[in-house]
Amino acid sequence: MGDIGALEKDTLGEIGNISLGSAATALSSVVGRRVDITTPHVELTTPQRVRRSFPVPSVLVNVDYVKGLTGNNLLIIKEEDAAQIAAAMMGNPDHPAEELGEIELSAIGEAMNQMMGAAATSLSDLLQETIEISPPVIQRLNLAVNELPDAFIREEGELVQVRFRLIIEGLFDSMLIQLLPLSFAHQLTSQLIEDITGDDEPDTTAETYTDEETAAVAERTIQEESHRDVSLIGYSTESAPVPPKYKGERLALFSDIPVKIDVVLGRTRLSLAKVFTLAPGAVVELDKYEGEPVEIFANGCLVGWGEVVLYNGYFGVKITGLQMNEKVGE
């Protein structure tokens, strides 16, 4: 059987923290509850050991990386947990289905699609490379009697397992299992460590570092990459005032940056069950009354209000009010 070093284990754990942290945010938005995915535990395992440790009806989510990385990623959750997620999405969290039907599996598929899309985006930011994934493939399997998908039993049973604690407020406190083929785990950690340290190959032997040195290197390299924006946000502009004569020049530097403008007519929130009943001709009620101004957003920030008009054959918006930060332009 192959091996995976302590540095690679720590790196995979931090990658999981970052990518599945984003996945938790995505899942929270579809179930309407707080979601935490924490405490990754990384170990080398085999399909047989996975089945012995998880011998219950489960939902498996298989995702292929098709650009930026080449490999497979498998998520496993208990079927009873999946049923509770589906029930929450359909607005009936107190009565989960005893057995997952077509509607419940569709709901879980959408939830996992949102989660894995968010995770891939975070991984892309971390590696500074475009990452594309295939649509998630959902399977119901009882691991007590069924084998894992073929992609995870080809390499003589060498798998990396990352076990997370999955907590959804008011629903359950359970486990989420992530499986990676060993070769893909090596590829993933090699690419990240090389990007950060400039080394061509990670050392896959645990003996090269003491536990303390390994933890320090992994924590420092990953946190520097993933939390770079946090240090910038914490910088105090009061310590470095800009002389007045340079203010106009400073603003001119940003004059050609494109700004995305969105006009929002209104919003509403529907249960997934209601969405499934929508058909052509259905009317969705929004949270706005007739005659109320629409909201104008610049790069996601509310900047004003207006009214919809017809301009040269196109819809436009006539600005009727602005909400500007007093510090803009200072």
**Residue 324 pLDDT > 50, yes or no?**
yes
Interval 180-216: pLDDT, tens: 999 899 988 888 877 665 555 444 444 444 444 444 4
Tokens 């290197």 correspond to 217
pLDDT recorded at residue 82 = 94
**Residue 93 pLDDT > 80, yes or no?**
yes
Structure tokens at 84: 């509770």
Across-strand partners of 76?
60, 177
- Distance separating alpha carbons of residues 64 and 45, to the nearest angstrom: 20
Interval 242-295: pLDDT, tens: 455 444 554 554 566 677 888 888 888 878 778 888 888 888 888 877 778 888
For the question of whether the overall pTM of this predicted structure is more than 0.75, the answer is no
pLDDT recorded at residue 192 = 81
pLDDT recorded at residue 165 = 92
> What architecture is domain 6-230?
3-Layer(aba) Sandwich (3.40)
**Residue 219 pLDDT > 70, yes or no?**
no
42 touches 12 (CB < 8 A): yes
Looking at every residue in the chain, the average pLDDT score rounds to: 78
How many of the other CB atoms lie within 10 Å of CB of 248? 9
CATH of domain 257-322: 2.30.330.10
pLDDT recorded at residue 157 = 66
pLDDT recorded at residue 83 = 94
Domain boundaries, the chain: 6-230, 257-322
- Distance separating alpha carbons of residues 269 and 314, to the nearest angstrom: 28
313 band by pLDDT with thresholds 50, 70 and 90: confident
How many residues are there in the chain? 330
How many of the other CB atoms lie within 10 Å of CB of 284? 10
Higher pLDDT pick, 176 / 323: 176
Query: 43-52, 145-154, 321-330 — which is least confidently predicted?
Result: 321-330
Interval 4-58: pLDDT, tens: 888 888 889 888 888 888 888 889 888 989 999 887 899 999 988 888 888 889 9
Higher pLDDT pick, 190 / 232: 190
**Residue 221 pLDDT > 70, yes or no?**
no
**Residue 151 pLDDT > 90, yes or no?**
no
306 touches 296 (CB < 8 A): yes
